[in-house]
Amino acid sequence: MTGFGRDVLVTGAAGFIGSHLVDSLLARRVNVIGLDNLSSGKEEFLKEALLNDRFQFHRLDLTEDDLSDILKGVDAVFHLAANPDVRSGALDTRSHFDQNILATYRLLEACREAKTPRFIFASTSTVYGEVDIMPTPEDYGPLLPISMYGASKLACEALVSAYSHQYGMRSVMFRFANVVGPRSTHNVLHDFVHKLRQDPKRLEILGAEPGTSKSYIHVSDTVNGILVGAEKASDMVEVFNIGSRDWTFVKDIADIVVGKMGLQGTEFRWTGGVNGGGWVGDVRKMLLSTKKLEKLGWAPDLTSSEAVELATMDILSE
């Protein structure tokens, strides 16, 4: 038996991180119910899981479907379903409100009614906004996100904390750095590979050279971190950062992708960007302190560049 029980629900189960989490939970002999509306997730990511007797999949939408039946007897909810696209928030402010805040509120209400004992939430480094302390610890404040996405996730964190304190549901929240690895469908690596396949001579890069500097973490390190934190958290509400201990500039990522594709002489064309970031709402620098989770026994296996290299090779082999 794990510290979070034997029967769990994973929302966003068919997504990038969710599907890896499902696989790791099943490997630990946990019974897993997967929920996803398949808006961006893919059933093929659950190919292995669907062969396992301890896994059930339900295609449901958190913003409108009834969630009471699916929560019966569940020891812990791992809530990963969301609209994770930071860039889209500048053009469509409603989507992050609905898919992140409303979806989380409806799920928390259903958990309250079902008396679900534990709630584990996938949050993000973007809740910090532009910071003046790096590596940024979990108790940094004030939290002033600069994107609709970061704002919506911070609102979710506040809701999770309130539900925990008011209704006795223990919760753990994870603020991830940029997660990369197999089954990812949208990030800077996909963008570069796609552009370079169309034109290997030129690469348009959002921002000004050398671009933003951020921590990248491989999905395997991320899922290990979620499991360690969910298992060992002791307070009513706990927050953990998950990231690698260093950062990578966008310029370095471009060099890695060009190198892995075996290209030479590719010209980088920087667009100039917005306020030193790539687009409106893009944080310029992000490096998280992970000491808190490390004290519980977790450590990332890969550096930012190693994670980016491995993830690039995965994309190229698809």
Ligand X SMILES: NC(=O)c1ccc[n+]([C@@H]2O[C@H](COP(=O)([O-])OP(=O)(O)OC[C@H]3O[C@@H](n4cnc5c(N)ncnc54)[C@H](O)[C@@H]3O)[C@@H](O)[C@H]2O)c1
Active site residues: 149
Tell me which of 32, 80, 226, 302 binds ligand X, using CB under 6 A: 80
DSSP bridge partners of 5: 2
The DSSP H or E segment spanning 256 is: helix 250-260
Does 12 interact with ligand X (rule: CB under 6 A)?
A: yes
CB of 205 to ligand X, least distance (A): 19
Largest interatomic CA distance in the chain: 60
The answer to whether 84 contacts ligand X (rule: CB under 6 A) is yes
Residue 142, preceding peptide bond in cis (omega within 30° of 0): yes
- DSSP reduced 3-state for 79: strand
Q: Does 224 bind ligand X (CB under 6 A)?
A: no
Q: Check residue 183 and report its DSSP letter.
A: T
* Residue of 8, 9, 18, 205 that binds ligand X (CB under 6 A): 18
300 binds ligand X, rule: CB under 6 A:
no
81 lies in the binding site for ligand X (CB under 6 A)? yes
Does residue 41 bind ligand X (CB under 6 A)?
yes
The whole-angstrom separation of Cα 248 and Cα 240 is 21
Task: Tell me the closest approach of the beta carbon of residue 12 to ligand X, in angstroms.
Answer: 3
Number of residues that bind ligand X (CB under 6 A): 27
Strands (E) located in 194-302: 202-205, 213-214, 216-218, 237-242, 248-249, 267-270, 285-286
Please, which residue, 15 or 182, has the CB nearer to ligand X? Answer: 15
Structural tokens at position 119 = 């709630």
Minimum CB distance to ligand X smaller for 30 or for 154 = 154
Span 109-128, contacts to ligand X by CB under 6 A: 122, 124
115: helix, coil or strand? coil
| By the rule CB under 6 A, 176 interacts with ligand X | yes
Minimum distance between the CB of residue 210 and ligand X, rounded to whole angstroms? 21
Residues 31, 99, 244, 266: which binds ligand X (CB under 6 A)?
Answer: 99
Sheet containing strand 285-286, edge to edge, reads 248-249, 213-214, 285-286
CB of 48 to ligand X, least distance (A): 16
Ramachandran class of 238: left when φ > 0, alpha when ψ lies in -120 to 50, beta otherwise: beta
Closest CA to 78 of 59, 101, 104, 60: 104
Query: Do 237 and 248 contact (CB within 8 A), yes or no?
Result: no
Residues 51-70 close enough to bind ligand X by CB under 6 A: 61-63
Among 38, 143, 193, 296, binds ligand X (CB under 6 A): 38
Binding site for ligand X (CB under 6 A): 12, 14-18, 36-41, 61-63, 80-82, 84, 99, 103, 122, 124, 176, 178-179, 185
